[in-house]
């Protein structure tokens, strides 16, 4: 045998394409401290900006005196709303169709709101100058409870729109009301509830939390007065959208705005929107002709940048006595804070909350959402989820548990009875979505077998008897969640941001020597795009992944794209990558056919090149085709080998999963021990199993944090009580349990490679799983529902109220 013969399997292994556990190429620079973040960038003559912020949640500014700050040596400028008004920049548009104050104009609406922007030679001088700013406040009554926002005597918050009774999404009911959004068939749903043998109704509060990325939000603006060009570096999850917004705000032509997002230390939705720091650094640079950097500290990040959740969800289910769900009603009271700055597609004021029917074949449903203003920081980002999908999954999965409890039925059996069946796909939900594919029964049965579910229930029954006998003070909870997520925001028929359709893009250039560079409109914040994108290209065009460079984040070089958030990178950009690669492969086939002197239809693709059908020895490798594309003229073909694809998907994708959590709770201390956590995910085609596992581990850790203690709380005066890591729970290796991961594979039928996305899934499924475990344990004591977060104190308090300490 010829030892130099390379088998097909060996050639596939060399590519490190789809399905390969390829190591993250990004880690080479990160583990050596060679990453390049915004605060690593130093420009000649660079100045530093910082904010004077409000002490109050709701107050009128009687007087703002910045004279002493301006007089401090080293201070170059102090911007206030009065300075921004002539530029019409004291307010900026939000992604939700509202406007938000860049700097407080006459009134502050939440604690730590930006009042003045100091620009100085260094950060220390800026910090000293802030202390010299004198603000005289007239304190006003704060509105913290969203349930009181539309009371007749509620404090008026938004004086700038007090007489505007129509908002971006229709009529407003009250001066503190933002929108009312409804979807579904209300009359049919009401009729079902009127006749149903069994109904349940429970309100679930999904508390306000925060993505808290490792790197805070930052920007560095540099305006060249000679060229009239603005260069903006920043922590941007969607650089092209930021460029468009900056052009709209500043009046600088978009062609003269260069937005660069370098390495980003985590985003999780927190870095999608535009913040006052970005606007003020730009204005200061234009005015002063110097680069101006703004870097927020951790307290500013937690208390003022976009929050997540804060949804009060009243869920009703109608069912038969044997557990067949007949209908669903859901009402949401959404606390948006002082401005509606939710990062949702334009047509969806409550994001994709209408996925709240979950994985279940529910014939009729109705959803109603009311958004209101309060004296809290604005936001509403998709914290590791796709536009309110986590809230929707939590609502239905807690609702299923409450219904099971009322029926005296095992909640897994209730789920199995109501799952959408495999043969029903593509499935049209009662609230308007078309689920692409799934096999929910297969996934649940595999998960049940893996964890020994029936045996766990038997163990739980024995432990409950032991508790009754006084032999133990621990109660056992078994948490179950089965979620369907909707990701891949992109279909122009459904989604846009500020009128720009949410497509995505890829440009691939194959060089003469057989290597390639690919540029995308997305932006990684740790999702391993440089690794996995190259694997897609490797499989599609037969060039080893190690020979493919991936670039993102520079609007000068990358094609226009809508960025990375909501698990849209693989479903949308991944599809654009595959389509661009296939354009290249089609041209390569024409080149190979010419050189092999056959018709192009006589060629077939074989791992890393083309071969003549029936004559495998007559073949041409992609590396040789690349050389020929630049060096041998082919009739009727342009030289070169490159392609661009803009992909507008026909539908979203719908990953799903089955999660199980086993925990023990000490009723005397509220302490929780997570004994086991098993997560089965189905994300369609798996590009890199190792990276999927890492994404699941990270998402589950964040789910643990949110469910078990992570909360941004406010007192009655509007003071933020969770604005530092002393008070805001971030799990370490000590608190984080061992994660067991598993999978099934149900490819998306409309995606070019069948991929669905997975980065958000563990958070979406993990939060209700943890909460269900706690509630399952406390149900033994008589509880129906205990709200998150489930920290030890609240669990102890719930156990005490349920009589466990008697």
CB 703 within 8 A of CB 770: yes
Q: Is 384 marked active-site?
A: yes
Angle at alpha carbon of residue 410, lines to 409 and 416, rounded to 5°: 105
Environment class of 689 (CB within 10 Å of its CB; exposed 0-12, middle 13-18, buried 19+):
middle
HSE value, Cβ hemisphere, 13 Å, CA-based, for 697: 14
The dihedrals phi and psi of 3, each to the nearest 5 degrees, come to: -70, -10
Q: Kindly name the residue from 20, 330, 356, 385 that is annotated as catalytic.
A: 385
Q: Is 218 marked active-site?
A: no
CA 700 to chain centroid: 14
Whole-angstrom Cα distance, residue 765 to residue 609?
41
Q: Residues in the chain, how many? A: 806
Scanning 381-439, the segments in alpha helix (DSSP H) are 389-407, 411-418
Following DSSP, what letter does each residue of 156-220 receive, concatenated? Answer: P--GGGTT--EETTEE-SSTTEEEEEEEE-HHHHHHHHHH-SEEEEEEEEEEEE----SS--EEE
**Among residues 530, 645, 529, which one has the least CA distance to residue 577?**
645
Whole-angstrom Cα distance, residue 280 to residue 110?
19
Environment class of 474 (CB within 10 Å of its CB; exposed 0-12, middle 13-18, buried 19+):
middle
The sign of the torsion formed by the CA atoms of 615, 617, 620, 621 equals positive
Residues 6+ apart with CB under 8 A from 384: 211, 268, 269, 390, 699, 702, 759, 760, 763, 764
Q: Kindly name the residue from 384, 388, 415, 585 that is annotated as catalytic.
A: 384
HSE value, Cβ hemisphere, 13 Å, CA-based, for 143: 26
Give the burial string for 760-772 (b: 16+ CB within 10 Å, else e).
bbbbbbbbbbbbb
Q: Kindly name the residue from 111, 218, 237, 589 that is annotated as catalytic.
A: 237
Residue corresponding to tokens 């997570």? 674
Environment class of 758 (CB within 10 Å of its CB; exposed 0-12, middle 13-18, buried 19+):
buried
The sign of the torsion formed by the CA atoms of 418, 419, 421, 427 equals positive
Whole-angstrom Cα distance, residue 170 to residue 158?
17
CA 48 to chain centroid: 30
Q: Is 26 marked active-site?
A: no
**Among residues 51, 76, 54, 67, which one has the least CA distance to residue 284?**
76
CB 526 within 8 A of CB 568: no
CB 572 within 8 A of CB 488: yes
Q: Kindly name the residue from 20, 525, 760, 769 that is annotated as catalytic.
A: 760
CB 504 within 8 A of CB 573: yes
HSE value, Cβ hemisphere, 13 Å, CA-based, for 751: 32
Q: Parallel, antiparallel, or unpaired for β 642-647 and 656-666?
A: unpaired
Please identify every residue annotated as catalytic.
237, 384-385, 760
């Amino acid at each position: 045998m010829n030892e130099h013969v390379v088998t097909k399997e060996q050639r596939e292994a060399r590519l490190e394409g789809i399905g390969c556990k390829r190591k993250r190429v990004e880690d080479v620079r990160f583990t050596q401290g060679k990453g390049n973040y915004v605060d690593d960038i130093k420009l000649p003559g660079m100045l530093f900006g910082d904010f004077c912020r409000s002490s109050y949640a709701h107050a009128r500014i009687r007087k703002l005196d910045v004279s002493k700050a301006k007089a401090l040596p080293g201070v170059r400028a102090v911007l206030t709303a009065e300075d921004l008004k002539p530029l019409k920049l004291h307010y900026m548009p939000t992604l939700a169709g509202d406007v938000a104050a860049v700097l407080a104009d006459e009134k502050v609406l939440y604690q730590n709101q930006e009042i003045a922007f100091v620009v100085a030679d260094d950060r220390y001088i800026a910090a000293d100058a802030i202390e010299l700013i004198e603000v005289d406040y007239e304190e006003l009554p704060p509105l913290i409870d969203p349930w009181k926002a539309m009371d007749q005597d509620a404090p008026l918050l938004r004086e700038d729109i007090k007489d505007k009774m129509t908002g971006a999404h229709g009529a407003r009911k009250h001066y503190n009301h933002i929108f009312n959004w409804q979807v579904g068939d209300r009359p049919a749903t009401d009729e079902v509830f009127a006749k149903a043998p069994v109904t349940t109704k429970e309100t679930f509060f999904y508390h306000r939390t925060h993505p808290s990325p490792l790197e805070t939000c930052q920007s560095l603006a540099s305006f060249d007065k000679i060229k009239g060009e603005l260069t903006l570096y920043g922590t941007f999850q969607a650089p092209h959208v930021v460029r468009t917004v900056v052009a709209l705000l500043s009046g600088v032509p978009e062609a003269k705005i260069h937005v660069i997002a370098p390495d980003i230390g985590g985003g999780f939705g927190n870095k999608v929107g535009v913040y006052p720091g970005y606007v003020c650094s730009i204005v200061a640079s234009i005015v002063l002709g110097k680069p101006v950097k703004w870097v927020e500290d951790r307290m500013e990040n937690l208390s003022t940048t976009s929050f997540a959740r804060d949804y009060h969800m009243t869920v009703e289910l109608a069912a038969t006595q044997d557990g067949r769900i007949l209908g669903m009603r859901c009402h949401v009271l959404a606390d948006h804070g002082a401005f509606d700055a939710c990062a949702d597609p334009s047509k969806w004021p409550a994001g994709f909350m209408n996925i709240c029917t979950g994985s279940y074949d529910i014939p009729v449903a109705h959803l109603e959402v009311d958004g209101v203003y309060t004296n809290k920081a604005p936001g509403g980002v998709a914290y590791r989820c796709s536009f309110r999908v986590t809230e929707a999954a939590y609502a239905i999965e807690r609702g299923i548990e409450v219904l099971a409890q009322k029926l005296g039925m095992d909640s897994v059996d209730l789920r199995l009875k109501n799952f959408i069946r495999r043969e029903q796909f593509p499935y049209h939900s009662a609230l308007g979505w078309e689920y692409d594919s799934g096999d929910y029964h297969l996934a649940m049965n595999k998960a049940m077998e893996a964890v020994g579910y029936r045996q766990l229930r038997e163990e739980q029954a024995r432990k409950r008897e032991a508790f009754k006998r006084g032999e133990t003070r621990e109660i056992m909870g078994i948490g179950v969640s089965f979620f369907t997520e909707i990701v891949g925001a992109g279909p122009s028929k459904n989604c846009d941001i500020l009128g720009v359709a949410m497509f995505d893009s890829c440009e691939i250039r194959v060089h003469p020597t057989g290597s390639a560079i690919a540029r995308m409109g997305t932006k990684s914040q740790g999702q391993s795009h440089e690794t996995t994108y190259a694997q897609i290209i490797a499989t599609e065009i037969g060039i080893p992944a190690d020979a493919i460079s991936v670039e993102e984040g520079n609007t000068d070089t990358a094609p226009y794209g809508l960025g990375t958030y909501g698990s849209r990178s693989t479903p949308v950009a991944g599809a654009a990558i595959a389509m661009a690669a296939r354009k290249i492969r089609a041209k390569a086939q024409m080149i190979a056919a010419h050189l092999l002197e056959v018709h192009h239809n006589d060629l077939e693709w074989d791992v890393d090149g083309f071969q003549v059908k029936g004559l495998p020895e007559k073949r041409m490798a992609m590396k040789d085709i690349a050389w020929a594309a630049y060096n041998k003229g082919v009739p009727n073909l342009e030289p070169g080998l490159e392609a661009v694809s803009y992909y507008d998907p026909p539908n979203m994708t719908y990953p799903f999963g089955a999660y199980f959590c086993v925990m023990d709770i000490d009723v005397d201390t509220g302490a929780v021990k997570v004994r086991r956590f098993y997560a089965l995910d189905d994300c369609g085609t798996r590009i890199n199993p190792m990276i999927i596992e890492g994404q699941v581990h990270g998402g589950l850790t964040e789910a643990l944090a949110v469910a078990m203690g992570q909360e941004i709380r406010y007192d009655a005066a509007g003071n933020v009580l969770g604005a530092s890591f002393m008070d805001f729970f971030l799990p370490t290796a000590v608190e984080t349990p061992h994660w067991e991961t598993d999978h099934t594979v149900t490819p998306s039928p409309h995606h070019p490679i069948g991929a669905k996305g997975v980065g958000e899934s563990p958070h979406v499924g993990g939060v209700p799983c943890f909460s269900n475990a706690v509630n399952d344990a406390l149900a033994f004591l008589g509880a129906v529902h205990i709200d998150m977060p489930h920290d030890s104190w609240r669990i102890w308090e719930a156990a005490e109220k349920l009589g466990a300490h008697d």
